[in-house]
């Protein structure tokens, strides 16, 4: 089933279910008012939500007002973003002459979670000089995960799957990374495609804790890339176990895959400007593709996937 959140004058919005054709919806009122509530009581609400979803597929429902959709979880208690596609890291290291990050553990940082932007809303940022970049990635929402949960028991905690644009400011990122403290300024709020979907909604495309779909990105209407979600070195179950090693994960934790990136980047392209620039630097000594300018438009969609699209412009903070 496909869950979404309708703008409602409150920070958490109102939970709705959307039909598979994204044309109709039914409010989840009486079952769970918000997606956060649903995740906190998933075992109790899943069956009634699925009953609602099947009524939708039988033709019930109101017209879905796409213009009023928020991020599925408009704010979360925790956002942990991985970097699980090794090809991305290798290209960045090669282009910038960095030493490889020597670790057999997943890479992960804690990011801003007090707001997630709608996939179709403008994104206000302070300066083009910050090196504005997008990062297309997949993500999951977990229920409560006890500290010490091993990877082998972690997949059952994946309740919903997401498509995310992790906005990044590349002029600041290496400065913050060099301190070892991770990113604060370099990682403003992410945008999220409108539908949070249960893993079964992905069918065969959900296996090994990975989303086996190409993530198609266009920039100002031009093809930019369509790398495939299958090439994660660690699956989402591994990322959950990593995150829960020394903490209980709160219900509603969002975990990201990091920028989708493939070994066959020469033909499938990339999901972020920084990686394309790295490829250009390796090939010709310098990057040719600029970072984003205000009013540039970025579009992301998982080909054949159920998440809906991200389609938005970067704007200057007023």
Binding site for a second copy (CB under 8 A): 75, 77-78, 80, 83, 101-103, 105, 107-115, 124-126, 130, 147-148, 169, 172, 175, 177-186, 188-189, 242-243, 245-248, 250, 253, 317
Q: Of 165, 162, 169, 163, which Cα lies nearest the Cα of 187?
A: 169
How far apart CA 14 and CA 120 sit, in angstroms, is: 17
CB of 180 to a second copy, least distance (A): 4
How far apart CA 311 and CA 120 sit, in angstroms, is: 5
CB of 287 to a second copy, least distance (A): 21
17 vs 39, which CB is nearer to a second copy?
39
Q: Of 217, 235, 293, which Cα lies nearest the Cα of 84?
A: 235
126 vs 304, which CB is nearer to a second copy?
126
CB of 318 to a second copy, least distance (A): 10
- Other CB atoms within a 10 A radius of the CB of residue 82 amount to 23
CB of 265 to a second copy, least distance (A): 22
- Other CB atoms within a 10 A radius of the CB of residue 105 amount to 10
Query: Tokens for 125?
Result: 């940022």
CB of 104 to a second copy, least distance (A): 10
- Other CB atoms within a 10 A radius of the CB of residue 127 amount to 12
24 vs 242, which CB is nearer to a second copy?
242
Identify the helix (H) or strand (E) that includes residue 110.
strand 108-110
Which residue, chain included where needed, has tokens 């409560």? 144
36 vs 262, which CB is nearer to a second copy?
36
155 vs 177, which CB is nearer to a second copy?
177
CB of 238 to a second copy, least distance (A): 13
259 vs 309, which CB is nearer to a second copy?
259
**CA 190 to the chain's CA centroid:** 8
């Amino acid at each position: 089933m496909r869950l979404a959140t309708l703008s409602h004058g409150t920070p958490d919005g109102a939970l709705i279910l959307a039909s598979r054709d994204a044309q109709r919806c039914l409010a989840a009122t009486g079952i769970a008012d918000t997606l956060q509530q649903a995740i906190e009581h998933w075992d109790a609400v899943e069956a009634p939500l699925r009953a609602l979803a099947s009524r939708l597929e039988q033709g019930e429902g109101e017209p879905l007002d796409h213009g009023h959709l928020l991020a599925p979880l408009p704010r979360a208690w925790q956002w942990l973003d991985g970097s699980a596609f090794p090809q991305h890291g290798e290209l960045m290291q090669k282009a910038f002459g960095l030493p490889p990050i020597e670790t057999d553990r997943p890479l992960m940082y804690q990011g801003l979670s007090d707001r997630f932007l709608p996939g179709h809303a403008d994104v206000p940022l302070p300066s083009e000089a910050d090196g504005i970049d997008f990062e297309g990635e997949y993500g999951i929402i977990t229920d409560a995960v006890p500290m010490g949960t091993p990877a082998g028991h972690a997949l059952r905690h994946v309740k919903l799957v997401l498509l995310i644009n992790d906005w990044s400011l590349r002029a600041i990122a290496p400065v913050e990374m060099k301190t070892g403290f991770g990113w604060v300024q370099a990682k403003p709020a992410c945008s999220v495609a409108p539908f949070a979907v249960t893993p079964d909604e992905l069918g065969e495309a959900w296996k090994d804790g990975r989303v086996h779909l190409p993530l198609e990105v266009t920039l100002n209407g031009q093809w930019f890339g369509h790398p495939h979600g299958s090439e994660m070195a660690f699956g989402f179950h591994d990322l959950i176990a990593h995150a829960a090693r020394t903490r209980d994960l709160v219900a509603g934790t969002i975990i990201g895959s990091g920028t989708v990136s493939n070994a066959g980047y020469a033909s499938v392209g990339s999901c972020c400007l920084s990686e394309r620039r790295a490829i250009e630097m390796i090939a010709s000594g310098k990057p040719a593709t600029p970072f984003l300018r205000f009013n540039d438009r970025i579009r992301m969609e998982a080909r054949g996937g159920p998440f809906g699209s991200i389609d938005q412009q970067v704007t200057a903070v007023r």
